[in-house]
Amino acid sequence: MLARIVRLSCAIVALTLALVSVAGGVPAAEATPQDTYTLDSIWPLQVDGVSVAPFALTFGPTGALYVGATRFGLPGPQDYILRLGPTGEVEQALPFSGYANDIVLDTGGYFYRLLNANMVRYDPQGQTPTVSEALPPTTIGRNVARTTVGGRQVFFVAAANSIYRYNGLAQDITWAPAQGLSEPAGIAITPDNILVVADTGAKQVQQFTLTGTLAAAPFTLAEDQAPLRVAVGPEGAIFVLTTTGRLHKYSPAGELLAAWGEAGVSPGEFRFPLDLAVGSDGRVYVADTDNRRLQVFRPVEAGAPTPTPVISPTPNPSCVIRPDKGIDPNVIVLGDRSWVSLRVLANCPTTTLPADIALVMDTSLSMSQEGNRIALARQAALTFMETLNLNQDQAALVEFNDTPRILEPLSQQRYRLQKAIAQLSVRGGTDIAAAINTAQAELAGPRHVQGHAQVMILLTDGTSAPTEALAAARAAKDAGTQLFVIGVGSDVIEDLLRQVASPGRFFYTRTGADLTDIYLQIQRLVQTTDLTNVVVSDLLKPDVAITGFGSPPGVREGSKVSWSLPVLPLQGITLTYQIQPSLVGEYDPSQEPARLTYLDRSQNVYQLAFPTRTIRVLAPTVTLTPTPTATATHTPTPPPTKTPTPTPTATATGTATMTPTATATGTPLPSPTPQISKLFLPYILTFRPD
């Protein structure tokens, strides 16, 4: 459903600085929003065929839009700064280490990333990092804005309950509660150098000079909303992204001019957006984070009818499926290898009870041993989080070693959960009992949704006091929690962990290499789609060797690779394999489009074709070694000897020819009619105390 453009009653305020309390703020008087915005376009964001989650937006010195984005899929988590073209295409993708909270560019094209307590500056190629003076201990920067004063780059960072000003990379001014700040979360700077601050705690927008004095009276947001980020339009209007994902537009005096947006996955709807930006043409860009896309809105001129975007009619099956294919890298030298990814994206109704799921992960020092198990556990947990249906379910992340900590409470914010998983590090010992108690308290706490099943998934490689661990597990199971346990490594006490787990809910892996498979097995028990008997296959050309698989591994039959899944996970799945071409040129390594076959809930057979992709294989560069020149030596010529003339012998000659190989086109495959037996029905998990 397309988000409705909402016209709201709101407040016009007569703001007189001499009469307004700085700390209190004044709501606007009632008025009717004057402006209307309509959806202009949607830009899905991908790097090398893998979707990325946008978390920050900023414009560069030449007017290009830059996006801070994070990839959590295979081959592993990665932070990027993307430069987008005018229609949303990714023109440049610079990878970075660590996970930024915000990004900004200066007038020279240098990048600045806000990494917890520091800003880090990089050259225009994303190299040579230089670290700023740090914020106070335990203080984490949330948002950064930049301007130029006297030819110098000046930055402002919102953190905790304060604003920190930097000249270059050195701090020089701080202002905080004395100026009425409660919880500043977003900053923007107007063309005349007024600092606009989104104060989430006070549900206000505040305005300051660059030295921290009040520049205008604060105003409270309409609809009882709290601001998360702010941006300034070309004519000075203040745009606000609220903590609930609404968009507001205000005059500098606090008059509400427009409001739109609601939660969802349809065009014009958002899933936990984290930033916004306004272009010089007035278009509004929104980082629709958990939908892995940017949405662009444009203003409708006064008096003009609001256009209704045309949506192509589509069938209404139980699931909407979109297959996609990628090759990374897609340009190699002969002898090198590439990864092929076959991704099945799904938007399906669920057939299981909604759940609150606590992911409980062991981060003790021993998790760094035996092949760095923590890295395998992180990637498996990221993949698991990708498959959850967070449109209906909630998830939490609990880490434990000597002491358990709730890193992310129960929520539906996939990006925040995945970012926390990607940042897990090891230290200390193992206390399973404390971990179970902490996770159960969260599952039964105020964020628990009445009617949701309670699910705990505990991963550990260590031992713990048996009596305490069994008592904590018994209490959780008696409260109705379904307790899955994954033991990893050679040191685990399997008998203990089997007793900790609910019946039939214990899994074991010695190396951790199959952790992704285990998490996906658990996911099938927790929730599934209506799609069964899922088969994905790809037939390669004879000159392309199959040299490896990602997880889950496929089956190799000559030049064909295939995967069989009893059910398709919610949100789809990505399947990968490695190839090594043996011919130079640019071509599709497959003989025909890869295929996806499945049964829907009515046992109808569907067959879809993946898009075709090409790889460019370059000839190796040949280095010639000079051949030494022989020195001529005079040899006397012997007298001529008469020899008989040989009889000519016929020699066969010929010209080698190569028959071109037919290239598969991307024409969708017709739906087959053969009967496919019903192999599996979606497992509907019932949750009850043991």
Burial class (CB in 10 A: 0-12, 13-18, 19+), 262: middle
Instruction: Give the helix/strand (H/E) hosting 17.
Output: none
Positive or negative, the CA dihedral 173, 174, 178, 184 is positive
Give the three-class secondary structure for 502: coil
The Cβ of residue 663 has, within 10 Å, a number of other Cβ atoms equal to: 13
Q: What are phi and psi of 236, to 5 degrees?
A: 95, 0
Report how far residue 146's alpha carbon sits from residue 56's, in angstroms, rounded to the nearest whole number: 14
Instruction: Note whether 52 and 292 are within 8 A (CB).
Output: yes
As a residue count, the chain comes to 690
Q: In the predicted model, is pLDDT for residue 99 greater than 50? A: yes
CATH 3.40.50.410 fits 355-526, yes or no: yes
pLDDT at 179: 73
Categorize the per-residue pLDDT at 318 as very low, low, confident or very high, splitting at 50, 70 and 90.
low
Measured CA distances, 556 to 388, 500, 545, 552, 623 (Å): 29, 38, 11, 13, 37
Give the three-class secondary structure for 373: helix
Report how far residue 520's alpha carbon sits from residue 533's, in angstroms, rounded to the nearest whole number: 16
Q: In the predicted model, is pLDDT for residue 610 greater than 90? A: yes
Instruction: Note whether 45 and 306 are within 8 A (CB).
Output: no
Instruction: Note whether 407 and 397 are within 8 A (CB).
Output: yes
Report how far residue 121's alpha carbon sits from residue 375's, in angstroms, rounded to the nearest whole number: 28
| Mean pLDDT of the 179-205 span | 93
Categorize the per-residue pLDDT at 677 as very low, low, confident or very high, splitting at 50, 70 and 90.
very low
Instruction: Note whether 268 and 295 are within 8 A (CB).
Output: yes
Q: What is the DSSP string of 248-294?
A: EEE-TT--EEEEE-EESSSTTEESS--EEEE-TTS-EEEEEGGGTEE
Report how far residue 274's alpha carbon sits from residue 452's, in angstroms, rounded to the nearest whole number: 27
326 contact partners, CB below 8 Å, separation of at least 6: 48, 49, 50, 340, 341, 343, 613
Instruction: Note whether 500 and 522 are within 8 A (CB).
Output: no
pLDDT at 351: 56
Please write the tens of the pLDDT for every residue from 509-534: 988 888 988 988 887 777 656 677 88
Looking at residue 540, the DSSP 8-state letter turns out to be: B
Amino acid at 409: P
The Cβ of residue 589 has, within 10 Å, a number of other Cβ atoms equal to: 22
Burial class (CB in 10 A: 0-12, 13-18, 19+), 386: buried
The Cβ of residue 494 has, within 10 Å, a number of other Cβ atoms equal to: 11
The token duo for 112 is 């600045």
Domain parsing of the chain, residue ranges: 5-300, 320-347+530-618, 355-526
Residue with the bigger pLDDT between 434 and 307: it is: 434
Looking at residue 31, the DSSP 8-state letter turns out to be: B
| Mean pLDDT of the 287-308 span | 81
Report how far residue 275's alpha carbon sits from residue 268's, in angstroms, rounded to the nearest whole number: 15
Q: Interhelix angle for 373-387 vs 515-526, to 10°?
A: 30
Lowest mean pLDDT among 227-236, 294-303, 376-385, 451-460: 294-303
pLDDT at 503: 84
* Nearest-10 Cα torsion for 417, 420, 422, 426: -140
Report how far residue 527's alpha carbon sits from residue 509's, in angstroms, rounded to the nearest whole number: 22
**HSE on the CB side for 354, CA within 13 Å?**
12
Please write the tens of the pLDDT for every residue from 12-56: 333 333 333 333 455 543 445 678 999 999 999 999 888 999 999
Measured CA distances, 42 to 145, 172, 190, 215, 422 (Å): 26, 41, 27, 36, 28
Give the three-class secondary structure for 668: coil
Instruction: Note whether 595 and 537 are within 8 A (CB).
Output: yes
pLDDT at 14: 31
The token duo for 322 is 């979109």
Instruction: Note whether 534 and 568 are within 8 A (CB).
Output: yes
The CATH number for 320-347+530-618, chosen from 3.40.50.12280, 2.40.50.140, 3.30.200.20, 2.60.40.740, is 2.60.40.740
Please write the tens of the pLDDT for every residue from 345-381: 776 655 566 889 999 999 999 998 877 899 999 999 9
The CATH number for 5-300, chosen from 3.40.190.100, 3.40.50.300, 1.10.10.410, 2.120.10.30, is 2.120.10.30
pLDDT at 465: 87
pLDDT at 27: 52
Strands (DSSP E) contained in 558-618 are: 560-567, 573-581, 585-587, 595-599, 605-609, 615-618
Please write the tens of the pLDDT for every residue from 61-92: 999 999 999 999 777 899 999 999 999 999 99
Instruction: Read off the pTM.
Output: 0.68
**Which of 262, 248, 297 minimizes the C-alpha distance to 10?**
248
Instruction: Note whether 421 and 378 are within 8 A (CB).
Output: yes
Instruction: Note whether 274 and 419 are within 8 A (CB).
Output: no
What is the rounded end-to-end Cα distance, in angstroms, of the chain? 42
- By 3-state DSSP, what share of the chain in percent is helix, strand and coil, each rounded to 5? 10, 40, 50
Amino acid at 1: M
Looking at residue 3, the DSSP 8-state letter turns out to be: P
> What's the mean per-residue pLDDT of the chain?
83
The Cβ of residue 48 has, within 10 Å, a number of other Cβ atoms equal to: 18
| Mean pLDDT of the 492-510 span | 91
Give the three-class secondary structure for 542: coil
The Cβ of residue 147 has, within 10 Å, a number of other Cβ atoms equal to: 18
